[in-house]
Chain A
Amino acid sequence: MALVTGSLLFLGSLFVAAPIIVHLATRQRPRHIEFPALRFVQQSRAQNQRRLQLRQWLLLLLRCAVVLALAAALARPSVPTNALGQWGAFALFFSATLLLTLVFVVALTHADQRLAAMVAGALAVVTLLGAGYYLWRSLQTGEGRIIGDEEAPIAAVLLFDTSPRMQYVWENQTRLEAGGETGLWLLEQLPRGSQAAIADAHPGSIVFAPDLSTARAAIQRLRITNTPQPLVEKLQAAIRLLAASENERRELYVFTDLSRQAWRVAHEADVREALAEHEEIVLNLFDVGVERPNNVALGELKLSGQTLTPGGRLQVETSVAASEKGGSRVLELYLEEPDPQLPLIRDGHLELPTPVLRMRQTTQPTPGGAVRVRFPDLPKLPLGVHHGYVRLVGEDGLKIDDARYFSVLVRAPWKVLVCAPPNTATGLFTEAVSPYAFRAGGRSRFEISEIPQAELSRHDLTKYAAVCLLDPAPLNAAVWRRLARFVRHGGGLGVFLGRRASPAAAFSVPAAQELLPGVLQRQWRAGSRELYLTPNSLNHRILQPFRQIASSTPWDRLPVLKHWVFEQLAPEATIVMRYSNGHPAVLETSLGGGRVLTMTTPISDAANSTHPPWNYLPTSDGSWPYVVLINEMTLYLVGSGDERLNYLAGEVAELNYADSGTAQRFELFTPDGDRQEIVGTRDRVSVRATDLVGAYRLKGHAGLPISLGFSVNLPTAASDLTRIDSARLDVLLGQSRYEMSNSRGEFTRAIGVARQGREFFPHLLLLLALLLVLERVLANRFYRR
């Protein structure tokens, strides 16, 4: 509790003596009445005298209470908002105590009301205990927070949410501008000698500005960041800063749009606990958000692939979500014309390839709903990195989600070496991954080379992305070591074991064990039992196409008759797929930068072979799961998915330039036209500063021209304007632990309440009036003329 004019309370309390003196000195004389029948009065005189004395004391007490209430009202006591409940409970219990005491006293004066007096007395004691408890709690709760003195210097942190959502325009102001304006106004309201720190969602520590003008300049310099730190983390940092401040009065102002995304938090108890620990810190939230925002947002772009081969088709799919108003909206897809000379700085100006409008789609999202939009395939993109974007035509409150960028790489087919012993049919595999029609049309993703297994020892493997051993016969250690070296350098090796893998012990030599997932032990025959592939878990990338159709994939129509069984699986080996009998079907191991997929049944057994086939995977009716599986395995082996060209803001972009030449230094052109020098190491180049949205282009310096690039987008959640509800905020920050306002008037009031606490002036005046009325009533009643 604090007192605005505490001295008045002390002086006023001294005046309590006045009614006592007046009471004693000028005690109102009772009416004098002549009354002959006095003898009858005398009989009950003793009891009446006691009643009289009690009433006199009561009147004196009331008069003292009047003076005290007046002094207390003039002293303007106030309590912290968070202690208001406790003070209220204290007042309630205390009032009840007074009332019960009054009843007790009155009942005492009546001889026939002894029981009532006892009950009232007991209850008065109980309520007095309650009042004492809540007084103690109130003093505990309000401890540490300074209230009452509005001119005391303040340590203030003004925390601005500078996430992309704050670019929402409402009444010709972005939300950040609106918050900044209020922040500048607030700085002017700070008492002299105050210190202020300006914090935003950018990474970095918070420090107090040397003076308020520096703080003002910091507010004017506030910029949106696409990689905002969680607001709650910054809030905790601000609390830590304030806790260490020398100023005893500490205030924290948060300018937020109160969106649900802004207040996402991993450990929700942290902030609440930090705030509870530092009760002296006053938290004010200024809501700059819009209750019903009008925004149409583009969803994440889904590309048919980030890496395409010549002749491959690019398919772009996205979604359009409307928050408030629906209606017809037009989407446009732009794609840049590749130009190896660009980007280029000419006469101080950056020249970029020209985006060309390739497609246009119209969509009609419903309010609060989302519709998916799929653009027709973009055919035959030439080799190289292609940048493009999809944009919504028209304007709404938030621009940042009206365009989404994408990059795709069109590259030459991956070279795959297929190696098989003599008389092993490789055609089934070759046709599955690179059909003739594709090869003829130049659309094939793989360029297949076939060699006999015997040539493996001398064939140059470095130009291949992957080597597939179909039903291999035992290899000598030197070949295994060559293959291991190939894998270590990033190559992919597929081993499809079949009947020629005998003796099994030949595959257990140390050189082979470096690549294989375990010790090859025995063959497992299905006999009359049904055996087929059963991919229980579809987490692995090669099984991704089956995720949507897991239950309808007809694996049971692709019978397996025999397979090898590995024992003593290597610890690093992972089982990708199993048979219905539980034994592993596909296993993966990694070595250096490469990976090895081992399948325990062959994929090249023809149905009409002289030997009974080990399975009917390639030859059954409806063997499409086999085709998909083999293609995905091959793509995985050549590392197609490793080439990532589309990132979210803040992620580190990793680009591989091994195939593109030997350049070590690159020029990086950021979306805002800035140019930076970056250096690549070990065929890879990393770009860490990806907080701008758009296309990033890299240009090689040395050797052949190299064009690399990637696109950066904001996560869809970044533009989610859904507002947080107050209940959730209460959970996060603690109920009654913060003040909320959305206008300067409310803000002023909230600050006033925080600095002054809740004043009891009007309540005390009311109490004073009641006491005066009571005093008058009792005085008139006791001394009626």
Chain B
Amino acid sequence: MSVEKYLKPEVIRNIKRLDLRAQFVVKGFLQGLHASPMHGFSVEFSEHRRYASGDDPKDIDWLVYAKTDKYYVKKFEAETNITGYLVVDTSRSMGYTYRQDLTKFDYGVCLAAALCYLMVHQQDPVGLITFDQRVRNSLPPKSRRSQMAAVLSLLSRLQPTGETNISASLLQIAGMLRRRSLVMIFSDLLSEQDEVIAALRRLRHGGHDIILFHILDEAEVYFPFSGMVELEDPESGQTLEVDADGFQQDYRQAISEFRDGYQRESVKSGFDYVPLDTSMQFDKALMEYLLRRRSRG
């Protein structure tokens, strides 16, 4: 997939719209995303804005109040010191979609691109790590605007192939990261759940913030098949012949339990878990997540 794929008009539009619509988020949520000790450390004045209920009173510009007798808050473009890592699963299973436009990998890349864009726009350093059975590629974090092109360029060169070993890869990443970072993982997590959770704990224990984007194909979530089907695991090549009709309910139940496992762990270990499927519009999904996170933070 080429770089243009991710910069095609609708994707750019989506990203731009996201940028426009979430401008305050871009300039605020990453601030909230940061750890609080770094707060107020960098201030490059951006604009004034009428005070609105809910704004922090300490942001009120008293000088403007003295002049105008109105409350204005000062908005700043943050100069962050948070380092983000986009960790993308490139195993064979990520290249799957049943009937959607984007494969899980594409979906993850779009998300990663958007976040990359936002972070670069925020002048946060952002790096890229890809893995399957182990870490395959990595771009060191940079906050330059050229970083985005580098990230996209690398992603567009990748083909999801081979088997996956998420837990090993995550452990490897945990070993790689020296500074506390924001680790954004894009994976279908189709691996042994316990091992993956153990790796996530290890990563979390390293002091990293984790946002786990769990990307499944719509077919993997809803199992929309009917009649007799022969299913093949693209990674292992294993096949199964099943009657889809009588099976759908059981499958959905299993998937739901699988996702719930991560959800429970996210609460327990204190990381963000974002279950997604390829039928969801990724920009909306991202927005929702960011808003939710902001309201939480």
Contacts and interface: CB of A to CB of B under 8 A. Distances in A.
A533 B255 CA distance: 115
B176 to A, nearest CB: 27
A31 B228 contact: yes
Contact of B230 (A31, A42, A784): A31
B65 to A, nearest CB: 58
Contact of B227 (A41, A48, A110, A784): A784
Given A36-B188, A39-B190, A45 B242 contact: yes
B243 interface: yes
Interface in B219-246: 219-220, 225-236, 238-243, 245-246
B216 interface: yes
Interface in A589-625: none
Contact of B247 (A34, A37, A44): A44
Contacts of A34: 96, 231-232, 234
B24 interface: no
B233 A48 contact: no
B243 A55 contact: yes
A595 B260 CA distance: 123
B220 A36 contact: yes
B216 to A, nearest CB: 7
B251 A40 contact: yes
B246 A40 contact: no
B139 to A, nearest CB: 26
B229 A44 contact: no
A780 B235 CA distance: 30
Contacts of A781: 226-227, 245
B123 interface: no
Contacts of B234: 34, 36
A40 B240 CA distance: 11
B250 interface: yes
Interface in A66-86: none
B258 interface: yes
Contacts of B93: 36
A117 to B, nearest CB: 15
B230 A37 contact: no
Interface in B110-143: none
Contact of A52 (B235, B242, B255): B242
Q: Interface range on chain B: under 10, 10 to 19, 20 to 34, or 35 or more? A: 35 or more
B291 interface: no
Nearest to B164: A36
A43 interface: yes
Given A30-B228, A30-B229, A38-B240, A48 B219 contact: no
B98 interface: yes
B43 interface: no
Contacts of B245: 781
B225 A33 contact: yes
A52 B250 contact: no
Interface in B169-211: 188, 190
Nearest to A106: B246
Interface in A210-226: none
Interface-central residue, B188, B254, B258, by most chain A CB under 10 Å? B254
A163 interface: no
A33 B98 CA distance: 8
B262 to A, nearest CB: 14
A109 B232 CA distance: 24
Contact of B242 (A32, A48, A109): A48
Contacts of A52: 228, 241-243
B109 to A, nearest CB: 17
A379 B119 CA distance: 147
B192 to A, nearest CB: 9
A36 B93 CA distance: 6
Given A30-B229, A31-B230, A36-B96, A41 B240 contact: yes
B83 to A, nearest CB: 31
A37 B258 CA distance: 11
B257 to A, nearest CB: 9
A40 B225 contact: no
Given A33-B230, A33-B231, A34-B232, A48 B247 contact: yes
A43 B254 contact: yes
Contacts of A42: 240
Given A37-B220, A783-B227, A30 B246 contact: no
B229 A36 contact: no
Contacts of A41: 231, 240, 242, 247, 251
A338 B188 CA distance: 132
Contact of B228 (A36, A45, A783): A783
A301 B21 CA distance: 121
Contacts of B231: 33-35, 38, 41
**Most A-side CB within 10 Å, residue of B219, B231, B239, B258:** B231
A40 B228 contact: no
8 contacts: A29-B230, A30-B230, A36-B96, A40-B254, A40-B258, A41-B242, A42-B240, A780-B227
Those 3 A-B pairs whose CB atoms lie nearest each other, nearest first: A784-B227, A36-B93, A30-B228
Interface of B: 92-93, 96, 98, 188, 190, 216-217, 219-220, 225-236, 238-243, 245-247, 250-251, 254-255, 258
